Chain A
Amino acid sequence: MVNGTYFLVPSLAILLTIISVIYEVKTSFYSRKIIAKTIIYSVNFINIVYLFFNKLIDHISLFFGLLALSVSAPVSIYTIGYSIRKGYGDKLNLLIDVFALAMTYAFVSPNVLLFATAWTVAELLGFSLISMGEEHEERYHTASRRFLLVSTLTFELSVFTLIYVSTFILIGVLAKLHGIVDALTKPFWVLSEHKVPIPVIMMPLLLIGFITKAAIVPMHFWLPEAHSVAPSPASALLSGIMTSMGIYGLMRILSIISADMNIVLPIIIILCIISIAYGGLQSYLQRDCKRLLAYSTIAGMGFSLMFLSLYIMDPSNILYIALITSIMAHSLYKSTLFLNAGIIELTYGTRDIDSIRGYIRLYSTSGTASLIALLSLIGLPPTMGFISKLYAVLAVLTSNLGALARILALIGVVLIIVLSILIGLRYSRIYFGVPPNNVKKINDRAIFYPEAILASLNIISVLSLYIIASGVGIEFTTALVLISIPPIIILIYMLITIGKRVSA
């Protein structure tokens, strides 16, 4: 059994977090809120690292937990200014913080019980965030739109139900082998030592919840509406972290069950390719910039899930790196861009991509930051997006996959490379040209700096390759970043110059 002192730091962390959250909600001062939030996230950071070094969680949890924290901390600070300007009030701040922490603890929970609990809480909070966004939007929209909004909530509810089905089936199946208490409280890596055999017929029910959460094509319907009506910081979290929870769940589940995967995996891979193509093309055709990003999430998740399936087919190191980097790249650039979409909404009062122009003339910091994220979406060095695409191609070509899987995967990779260029460049048009006259320029560093920090993570995270990829040395990563400095400087300079010169 684990020693009682092991829980000292976690319980302290929880206590401090609760105190800071209460303080943050009570105080009405801007800067004090920022301090309170900083305390929340740094305490939780220490907690996660502590849990890892005391071997209470494994490295997958550590990775996802730190990713979630590093995305949600800037998002949370951004929320302060956003909620005031958008008229959401303190409730949004509270919800975002608790939502982010719930997701983080879903990632770092070592056993099924905590995982399911934290996930449920996160799911409920996500649900209330979306409905909050809808209620808020409704003030501005006509009744004809109401039908659509109501249906979104139904979609979210059905997702919720599906996840319940999957989780309970998982618990039921585990309980059969390990006994109910052990199944719930044993850590994942202990469970994975004795894998639970599962008949193929059960697999769809077991996987459907997670596939729905990751928004793979037949179960994607809920995502575009949900992510585009939620408040922007919530969309950033939903799209950046919540969707990768589906992938994380599948990673966990597939590590503790043993089943005949020969039928399931090809189906998943084909579904993933369809979602890449469908999500990418839909995204390219959207006019609402948040819907554009939401559809591209479907494509991005299809890409990640494809690599998860390939990794299960051939558990080699390089496929694992490709999977991890694809998740990391996606959550970093997508959350930055959603924050950017929030600023766009505040400034222009619209999300129609064809009528938004001249963003870079209004905000140079924020413009540069979101251009970095866009470059990552497009996949240019030295951003994480480039690394992810590089490893994707390398993994597909060098691992020991079968011929069919390799061809399918190659199709998927080519599709995502081409479509993400199209999407990124379509989105980048908002930076060009002259802004319209009716813009409300905002001047608030507490909104812009978090976005800039999150954007810089798109490049800094490349250094983490040194830790993630055991075959890759510090020499490689530093060379990569060093060589890329001149190109990235000139690229961003060019984008800004063209943006300022060219009239749309």
Chain B
Amino acid sequence: MIDYRFIRYITWFIMFSFSALGGSLSDTMRRLSRSLRLLAYMTPWIVIGFGRVIGKELLVIDTMQLVFLFLSTIVCIAISLYSEGYLRILFGKTSSIQIIMDASLTLLVMLFMARNLLELTILWISVEFIAFLMILLEKGIENWNIGMKYLIVCATVGDLSLFTWIAVSSIRLGLERALIQDFIWLSSANIRADPVITILLLIGFMAKLAQIPLHFWLVDTYTEAPSPVSAIFSGLMSKMAVYGILRLYDTVLLSRPVYTALLLILGFITVVYASIMAVAQTDIKKMIAYSSMSHYGVMAMLLGLVPFNDMVKMVLYIYVLYHGVVKAHVFTNIATIEILVNIRDLYRLGYLSKIAHKIYEEVIYGVLSLIGLPPSLGFLAKLIVIYMALVMVAEGYLFAFLFLIGIIIASVFSIIYSIKYLGAYVGSYVETPIKPVVNVSRLQYYSELFLAYTSVILPVILMVLMPMGILYPTILLVYLVFLATLFVSRIIYNKLPVYETSIWLGGVET
């Protein structure tokens, strides 16, 4: 008989010490530091794999957690490596802040591995506070008010919901059992929540997911935080809320009508508001922040539909993966732009492809994914979301119409702002291009490239792994063709570059 909690704690201990050690060595022994950090993020998978080999389930973990763990492993590796390069350019010495980045990322991974309410609560609250401190990392006191806004609106409300969750469970089970029993046990315990409690339970997670009445912390936070930190915020921390609501739905019998109405309606309003605002921005970071918000709206609506169809959960998983990877990519890319030219105003940019050719090549993958074009992950996500919405409409759920409209609005506007984002690279430009003082380090380039390739290779893996019914063979074929085209065109482009010698003015000879 093995105590599974014990194995989990050992795993956490190894992860935490490896990542902290890796962070602290990032100045003196760079190679060792990187491999230690990679090892730290791979530890859960090694343990799970080892368990499979010896035929025992060493880490108790369910599908939901596997998805979030998978996302966090990818994003953590990328951001951890990226931030090393970023910090080296910014500060010279990296280790003091690298420890913070890595340890916080590890705490996030630990949060997705938590198996009872006690672990979840403690890690959640710590991560919230760490997030507050991470906002201060670069600018310090300047960002104080933004950090405060984040802490009060987002974190405190979230804590209240967590505490309510514990309270609701402990009415039924007693405090200690509610806190330290496994989630499986909780979900079989028949815990009920009346409508008022349901609202109390949801409100914290919805604030974390920036749904409309509690959304105002998001844009400031995402814009003012250092860009790698924004990548963590958008790529991983927002997923905490999705995970929280899913887990809550699993363990507590919520009042269904309130649950669906709240998430669907607020999600819809958020989608519309955030999409329009995203298009109206000229600051690229603000634009991507609003875009994140509109995606959160979609996720909230998907969460609202979970009770009605078994497929919704899987769709949500893919959407979460999609959004996590693409936002980590885009925000790290914004960090790169900041390092290259230190301008975020869209209308003063437009020449980036000229000065950072390689970056431009890989950011195309990200933008493809953001728009939702094949062969990117975004295509798969949006396809099955719309497919599912149509199925639900066909099944006669009227409110699925609302969802369908929301999805369509989000997709249309996402095309506009993604193209606008790409405009920073290839648009027409009014200012003379700035010659970058420092070049982006190889580490940064490769970690962005890692995310870029992930967003085109991941769909194939997902389609092999997940059952997808009738869609499966055709989509896979389409994917492979597109993937091949993309890679081939990239090779051709690299081997046979065509550079223009004179400016082409719409065919008019001068």
Chain A residues within CB distance 8 Å of chain B: 318, 378, 380-382, 386, 389-390, 393-394, 397-398, 414, 417-418, 421-422, 425, 429, 432-433, 471-473, 475-476, 479-480, 482-484, 486-491, 493-495, 497-498, 501-504
Given contacts A398-B167, A482-B9, 14 further A-B contacts (CB under 8 A): A381-B126, A397-B163, A414-B160, A418-B152, A421-B156, A472-B176, A476-B180, A480-B118, A483-B122, A487-B107, A487-B122, A494-B130, A501-B97, A502-B140
Instruction: Select A494's contact among B123, B133, B148, B167, beta carbons within 8 Å.
Output: B133
- Interface secondary structure of A, over-half rule: helix
A397 neighbours in B (Cβ, 8 Å): 163-164, 167-168, 171
Chain B residues within CB distance 8 Å of chain A: 5, 9, 12, 16, 20, 96-97, 99-100, 103-104, 106-107, 110, 118-119, 121-123, 125-127, 129-130, 133-134, 136-137, 140-141, 144, 148, 151-152, 156, 159-160, 163-164, 166-168, 170-171, 174-176, 179-180
B97 neighbours in A (Cβ, 8 Å): 497, 501
Instruction: Select B167's contact among A394, A417, A425, A502, beta carbons within 8 Å.
Output: A394
Instruction: Please tell me if the beta carbons of B137 and A381 are within 8 angstroms of each other in the complex.
Output: no
Instruction: Please tell me if the beta carbons of B126 and A502 are within 8 angstroms of each other in the complex.
Output: no
Instruction: Please tell me if the beta carbons of A476 and B140 are within 8 angstroms of each other in the complex.
Output: no
The answer to whether residues A483 and B156 also contact, given A495-B133, A501-B96 and a CB cut-off of 8 A, is: no
8 intermolecular pairs with C-beta atoms under 8 Å apart: A390-B163, A394-B167, A394-B175, A414-B156, A471-B176, A486-B106, A498-B136, A501-B97
Instruction: Please tell me if the beta carbons of A381 and B160 are within 8 angstroms of each other in the complex.
Output: no
Instruction: Please tell me if the beta carbons of B129 and A491 are within 8 angstroms of each other in the complex.
Output: yes
Instruction: Please tell me if the beta carbons of A476 and B129 are within 8 angstroms of each other in the complex.
Output: no
How far is it, in angstroms, between the C-alpha of A418 and the C-alpha of B167 when the chains are bound? 19
How far is it, in angstroms, between the C-alpha of A386 and the C-alpha of B97 when the chains are bound? 27
Instruction: Please tell me if the beta carbons of A486 and B152 are within 8 angstroms of each other in the complex.
Output: no
Instruction: Please tell me if the beta carbons of A497 and B96 are within 8 angstroms of each other in the complex.
Output: yes
Instruction: Please tell me if the beta carbons of B99 and A493 are within 8 angstroms of each other in the complex.
Output: yes
A398 neighbours in B (Cβ, 8 Å): 167, 170-171
A483 neighbours in B (Cβ, 8 Å): 9, 118-119, 122-123
Instruction: Please tell me if the beta carbons of A490 and B122 are within 8 angstroms of each other in the complex.
Output: no
Instruction: Select B163's contact among A394, A476, A490, A498, beta carbons within 8 Å.
Output: A394
A495, chain B: closest CB distance, angstroms: 7
B159 neighbours in A (Cβ, 8 Å): 417
Instruction: Select B164's contact among A393, A429, A495, beta carbons within 8 Å.
Output: A393
> Considering only CB atoms, which chain A residue lies closest to B122 in the complex?
A381
A157, chain B: closest CB distance, angstroms: 40
How far is it, in angstroms, between the C-alpha of A49 and the C-alpha of B140 when the chains are bound? 49
Instruction: Select B140's contact among A378, A480, A498, beta carbons within 8 Å.
Output: A498
How far is it, in angstroms, between the C-alpha of A298 and the C-alpha of B170 when the chains are bound? 31
How far is it, in angstroms, between the C-alpha of A488 and the C-alpha of B16 when the chains are bound? 12
A386 neighbours in B (Cβ, 8 Å): 125
Interface centre among B136, B151, B163, B179 (most CB of A within 10 A): B163
The answer to whether residues A487 and B126 also contact, given A318-B175, A398-B170 and a CB cut-off of 8 A, is: yes
How far is it, in angstroms, between the C-alpha of A418 and the C-alpha of B171 when the chains are bound? 25
> Considering only CB atoms, which chain B residue lies closest to A392 in the complex?
B163
How far is it, in angstroms, between the C-alpha of A167 and the C-alpha of B129 when the chains are bound? 45
The answer to whether residues A493 and B100 also contact, given A483-B122, A502-B140 and a CB cut-off of 8 A, is: yes
B118 neighbours in A (Cβ, 8 Å): 476, 479-480, 483
> Considering only CB atoms, which chain A residue lies closest to B167 in the complex?
A397
How far is it, in angstroms, between the C-alpha of A12 and the C-alpha of B443 when the chains are bound? 72
The answer to whether residues A479 and B180 also contact, given A380-B129, A398-B170 and a CB cut-off of 8 A, is: yes
B144 neighbours in A (Cβ, 8 Å): 425, 429
> Considering only CB atoms, which chain A residue lies closest to B179 in the complex?
A476
Instruction: Please tell me if the beta carbons of B141 and A432 are within 8 angstroms of each other in the complex.
Output: yes
The answer to whether residues A491 and B180 also contact, given A398-B167, A480-B122, A503-B140 and a CB cut-off of 8 A, is: no
Instruction: Please tell me if the beta carbons of A393 and B100 are within 8 angstroms of each other in the complex.
Output: no
Instruction: Please tell me if the beta carbons of B141 and A491 are within 8 angstroms of each other in the complex.
Output: no
B23, chain A: closest CB distance, angstroms: 10
A472 neighbours in B (Cβ, 8 Å): 175-176
How far is it, in angstroms, between the C-alpha of A165 and the C-alpha of B80 when the chains are bound? 66
Instruction: Select A487's contact among B130, B156, B164, beta carbons within 8 Å.
Output: B130
Instruction: Please tell me if the beta carbons of B130 and A491 are within 8 angstroms of each other in the complex.
Output: yes
A144, chain B: closest CB distance, angstroms: 33
Instruction: Please tell me if the beta carbons of A382 and B148 are within 8 angstroms of each other in the complex.
Output: no
Instruction: Please tell me if the beta carbons of B96 and A421 are within 8 angstroms of each other in the complex.
Output: no
How far is it, in angstroms, between the C-alpha of A362 and the C-alpha of B175 when the chains are bound? 43
> Considering only CB atoms, which chain B residue lies closest to A475 in the complex?
B180
A421 neighbours in B (Cβ, 8 Å): 151-152, 156
How far is it, in angstroms, between the C-alpha of A489 and the C-alpha of B16 when the chains are bound? 11
How far is it, in angstroms, between the C-alpha of A393 and the C-alpha of B134 when the chains are bound? 28
A486 neighbours in B (Cβ, 8 Å): 12, 16, 103, 106-107, 110
A22, chain B: closest CB distance, angstroms: 48
Instruction: Please tell me if the beta carbons of B141 and A429 are within 8 angstroms of each other in the complex.
Output: yes
How far is it, in angstroms, between the C-alpha of A429 and the C-alpha of B141 when the chains are bound? 8
Please give me the 3 A-B residue pairs with the lowest Cβ-Cβ distance, nearest first: A502-B140, A487-B126, A397-B167
> Considering only CB atoms, which chain A residue lies closest to B13 in the complex?
A486
Instruction: Select B166's contact among A394, A473, A482, A493, beta carbons within 8 Å.
Output: A394
